[in-house]
Amino acid sequence: MFSRPMLTLHEVADLLKVKESTVRTWIHDGDLRAIKLGRDWRVTHGDLESFVDAHANRPPGEAPA
pLDDT in tens, 26-57: 999 999 999 999 999 999 999 999 999 999 88
Q: How confident is the model at residue 16 (pLDDT cuts 50, 70, 90)?
A: very high
Cα–chain-centroid distance for residue 40? Answer: 15
Report the C-alpha gap between 44 and 41 in whole angstroms. 10
Is 9 in contact with 47 (CB distance < 8 Å)? Answer: no
* pTM reported for the whole predicted model: 0.83
Q: Are 4 and 45 in contact (CB under 8 A)?
A: yes
Name the amino acid, one letter, at 26: W
pLDDT over threshold 80, residue 2: no
Q: Contact 31/41 with Cβ under 8 angstroms?
A: no
- The 3-state DSSP class for residue 5 equals coil
